């Protein structure tokens, strides 16, 4: 297949899911004629009609709440939240309904709902358009949380997310929407498996979503210093693929976790907690974290400084080597 952008890879995944299952419906703000502000749903309303690609009222709680009702009627809704910062009005429906309904019914009803959220910064946007709220959802039992870093994964994971009978929060790395790569129909990689995207021996870097490319760049740069870094793309944030993480750290003895979200109480905290518990005797240095600062996302003219970059990752790697 020809290389496509990450946005297009998701678009193709959505299309395929709609072709395969007539119960799949898309709903969100401006996803119809406009094709979404990032064009991820481009052309889908034209081809599948307004009943299946639904331009909703401007009400996020309603988008998710209506998805719950559609699921109860046997549908498989895929919601688009326009930007990360606009998922909060739907937080109640997600946390108290989507995440808990299956359990409330003791398994009688299923919530095959996918909630797509373009997330992260780095695109020069105004406030609320660059948030990384994934930890809120990872901490919420009953949800599964996925991310993607490449067109190939984006395509497969969105299809797996829609196909699974559990609710999935699907985070799309908005600043990587235009990155190109091949996609394939092979859905055999388990949805919750992390991937070693670069094998290495000296130190492990864990990243996900937009930071995977940055981590890979850091690994390349580290070669110059004679460091062979292993890079893991988590893909699944909840559940975490602890086995893959531990296997790596047991080999390298060092771990740096990278994400855009504020470092405190973020994904890095959970990973550090697990690794120091499960690989206590393998760690030659503490797990170190590189993340956004514990501040609101900054004005865009200073976002490049705020976001983790190659230098800050390497700085952490260097600190790890001092142990």
Partner 1 sequence: MTLEPSVVAEPDLVQLLTPEGVRVEHPDYAIDVHDEQLRSLYRDLVLVRRLDSEATALQRQGELGLWASCLGQEAAQVGAGRALREQDMSFPTYREHGVAWCRGVDPLTLLGLFRGVNLGGWDPADNNFGLYTIVIGAQTLHATGYAMGVQRDGAVGSGDPEVDTAVLAFFGDGATSEGDVNEAFVWSAAANLPVVFFCQNNQWAISEPVERQTRVPLFQRASGFGFPGVRVDGNDVLACLAVTRAALEHARSGQGPMMIEAFTYRMGAHTTSDDPTRYRVSAELEKWRLRDPIERVRSYLVRSTDTDADFFTDLDAESERLAEHVRAGCRALPDPEPLSVFDTVYVDAPVELMEQRDTYAAYLDSFVPAGAS
Tell me: does residue 57 bind its own copies (CB under 8 A). no
Contact region with its own copies (CB under 8 A), list: 69-77, 109-117, 159-167, 282-290:
282-290
Q: Which residues, at least 6 apart from 112, have a Cβ–Cβ distance to it below 8 Å?
A: 71, 76, 162, 164, 165, 166, 167
Are the C-beta atoms of residues 156 and 103 closer than 8 Å to each other?
Answer: no
Tell me: does residue 19 bind partner 1 (CB under 8 A). no
**Active-site residue flag, 227:** no
List binders of its own copies among 210-239 (CB under 8 A): 238
x/- map, 4-33, its own copies, by CB under 8 A: ------------------------------
**Peptide bond just before 314 cis, omega within 30 deg:** no
Question: Measured at the alpha carbon of residue 232, what is the angle toward residues 262 and 174, in degrees to the nearest 5?
Answer: 55
93: DSSP letter:
I
Are the C-beta atoms of residues 196 and 230 closer than 8 Å to each other?
Answer: yes
x/- map, 29-68, ligand TPP, by CB under 6 A: x----------------------------x-x--------
Look at the block and give the residue holding tokens 């990752």. 313
**What are the backbone angles phi and psi of residue 203, rounded to the nearest 5°?**
-160, 145
Could you tell me the smallest distance in angstroms from the CB atom of residue 173 to its own copies?
A: 20
Query: Left, alpha or beta for 115 (phi > 0: left; psi -120 to 50: alpha)?
Result: beta
Q: Strands (DSSP E) along 120-194, which ranges?
A: 144-147, 168-173, 180-181
Contact region with partner 1 (CB under 8 A), list: 2-10, 210-218, 235-243, 246-254:
235-243
**CA-based Rg of the chain, rounded to a whole angstrom?**
19
Which of 129, 192, 227, 259 is an active site residue?
Answer: 129
Are the C-beta atoms of residues 184 and 38 closer than 8 Å to each other?
Answer: no
Could you tell me the smallest distance in angstroms from the CB atom of residue 196 to partner 1?
A: 18
Tell me: does residue 305 bind its own copies (CB under 8 A). no
- Residue 24, classed as helix, strand or coil, is strand
Q: Which is nearer to its own copies, 151 or 266 (CB)?
A: 266
Tell me: does residue 21 bind partner 1 (CB under 8 A). no
Q: Which is nearer to partner 1, 207 or 313 (CB)?
A: 313
Using CB under 8 A, list all residues that contact its own copies: 61, 85, 88-89, 91-92, 95-96, 99-100, 103-104, 127-128, 135-136, 138-139, 141-142, 238, 261-262, 264-270, 272-273, 276-278, 280, 283, 285-289, 293-296, 323
**Which residues in this chain contact ligand TPP in the complex, by CB under 6 A?**
29, 58, 60, 82, 86, 89
Catalytic residues: 129
């Amino acid at each position: 297949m020809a290389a496509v952008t990450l946005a297009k890879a998701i678009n193709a995944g959505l299309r395929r899911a709609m072709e395969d299952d007539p119960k799949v419906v898309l709903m969100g703000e401006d996803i119809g004629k406009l094709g979404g502000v990032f064009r991820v749903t481009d052309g889908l309303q034209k081809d599948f009609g307004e009943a299946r690609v639904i331009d909703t009222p401007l009400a996020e709680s309603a988008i998710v709440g209506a998805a719950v009702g559609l699921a109860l009627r046997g549908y498989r809704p895929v919601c688009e939240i326009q930007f990360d910062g606009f998922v909060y009005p739907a937080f109640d429906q997600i946390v108290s309904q989507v995440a808990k309904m299956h359990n409330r019914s003791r398994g009688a009803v299923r919530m095959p709902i996918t909630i797509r959220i373009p997330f992260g910064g780095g695109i020069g946007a105004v406030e609320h358009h660059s948030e990384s709220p994934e930890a809120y959802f990872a901490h919420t039992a009953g949800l599964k949380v996925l991310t993607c870093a490449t067109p190939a994964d984006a395509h497969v994971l969105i299809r797996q997310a829609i196909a699974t009978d559990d609710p999935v929060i699907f985070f799309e790395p908005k600043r990587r929407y235009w990155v190109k790569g091949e996609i394939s129909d092979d859905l055999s990689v388990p949805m919750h498996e992390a991937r070693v995207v670069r094998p290495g021996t000296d130190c492990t870097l864990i990243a996900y979503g937009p930071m995977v490319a940055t981590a890979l760049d850091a690994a390349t740069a580290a070669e110059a210093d004679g460091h062979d870094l292993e890079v893991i793309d988590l893909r699944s944030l909840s559940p975490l693929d602890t086995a893959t993480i531990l296997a790596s750290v047991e080999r390298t003895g060092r771990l740096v976790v990278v994400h855009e979200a504020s470092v405190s109480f973020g994904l890095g905290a959970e990973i550090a907690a697990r690794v120091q518990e499960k690989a206590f005797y393998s760690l030659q240095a503490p797990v170190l974290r590189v993340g956004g600062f514990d501040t609101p996302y900054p004005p865009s003219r200073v976002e490049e400084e705020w976001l983790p970059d190659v230098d800050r990752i390497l700085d952490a790697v260097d600190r790890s080597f001092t142990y």
